[in-house]
Amino acid sequence: MARTYEHPEPEDVSLPRVLFALSDPVRLEMVRTLAERGPVNSIELGPGMPKSTVTHHTRILREAGVTKTSPEGRSCWISLRRDLMESKFSGLLEAVLNAESDDA
């Protein structure tokens, strides 16, 4: 049976959930990778991380509405929902992506 993933409708995407999803350094790095490379196989988003950890972080991003997950065979391709983010929260994604990283 093919996997399916639930994605929030645009009206259900909220600023607090998006900010929470983007507040974690691991997820922020995943979003930066997606912004630079376009759709990425989920395995490539967490090199060296256990699959369960990658799944956890990609689920939070997907449920917040930041990303879209598309199953293809045994792989899952993750992409940014740039248009949705821009229409809901104009400039937010670009501001977050362009912010200096303070991994202190």
Q: What is the pLDDT of residue 34?
A: 96
Query: Which residues lie closer than 8 Å to 63 by C-beta, 6 or more apart?
Result: 6, 8, 17, 21
Backbone angles phi, psi at 65, to 5 degrees: 95, 5
In this structure, what CATH number is given to the domain that contains residue 88? 1.10.10.10
Mean pLDDT of 15-31: 95
Q: Is residue 1 part of a domain?
A: no
Confidence of residue 46 (pLDDT cuts 50, 70, 90): confident
At 2-21, the pLDDT tens digits run 678 899 999 999 999 999 99
**Could you tell me which residue, 46 or 26, shows the higher pLDDT?**
26
Q: Is residue 104 part of a domain?
A: no
Q: Is residue 71 part of a domain?
A: yes
Say what the pTM is: 0.90
Range of the domain at 80: 10-96
Q: Is residue 3 part of a domain?
A: no
Q: Is residue 103 part of a domain?
A: no
| pLDDT of 93 over the 80 cut | yes
Q: Is residue 78 part of a domain?
A: yes
